[in-house]
Amino acid sequence: MIKGIGVDVVDIARFEESLVRTPGLRERLFTDEELATSQDRNPSFLAGRFAAKEALAKALGVPEGLAWHDVNVHRADNGAPIMELNGIAKQRAGSGKIHLSISHDGPVVVAMIVIENSRG
């Protein structure tokens, strides 16, 4: 049974401009692990991580108290994007399985989340 669905689209150039214009934004949006992994990558990498976090927030119903650092987006051994949840995000998702897809095309990146309830 589906518990939640979320999708987000990010304009990569606009996102990069926001990171340049707003000091400290990278550190507010991303975990230390995400920032370390993003070294030497193009701007679409962090834009994809951001889109994934936004899509998760939507799938969870934008819970009060959700923090950007409650979500860590990284890669599984097979290269697929996965999320590690903490805090409010983990509480709201419960034992639901999170399916995440991130896709880049030209100037945009899109992320989609489906949260599948373990009951059903």
Residue 58 bears catalytic tag: yes
Containing structural domain, residue 64 = 2-116
Q: What is the mean pLDDT of the chain?
A: 94
Mind listing the pLDDT tens digit for each residue in 27-76?
999 999 999 998 878 889 999 999 999 999 999 999 999 999 999 999 99
3-state DSSP assignment of residue 43: helix
Which residue out of 58, 69, 90, 99 is catalytically annotated? 58
Q: What is the CATH number of the domain that holds 61?
A: 3.90.470.20
Which residue out of 69, 90, 99, 104 is catalytically annotated? 104
User: Is the full-model pTM beyond 0.85?
Assistant: yes
Q: In which band, very low, low, confident or very high, does the pLDDT at 4 lie, cut at 50, 70 and 90? A: very high
Buried b (16+ CB within 10 A) or exposed e, 83-120: bebeebbeebbeebebbbebebeeebbbbbbbbeeeee
Residue 41 pLDDT: 83
Q: Which residues contact 65 (CB under 8 A, 6 or more apart)?
A: 87, 88
Reported as half-sphere exposure (CB side, CA atoms, 13 A), residue 46 has a value of: 28
What is the domain count for the chain? 1
Residue 23 pLDDT: 87
- Look at residue 120 and tell me whether its pLDDT is greater than 70: no
Residue 53 bears catalytic tag: no
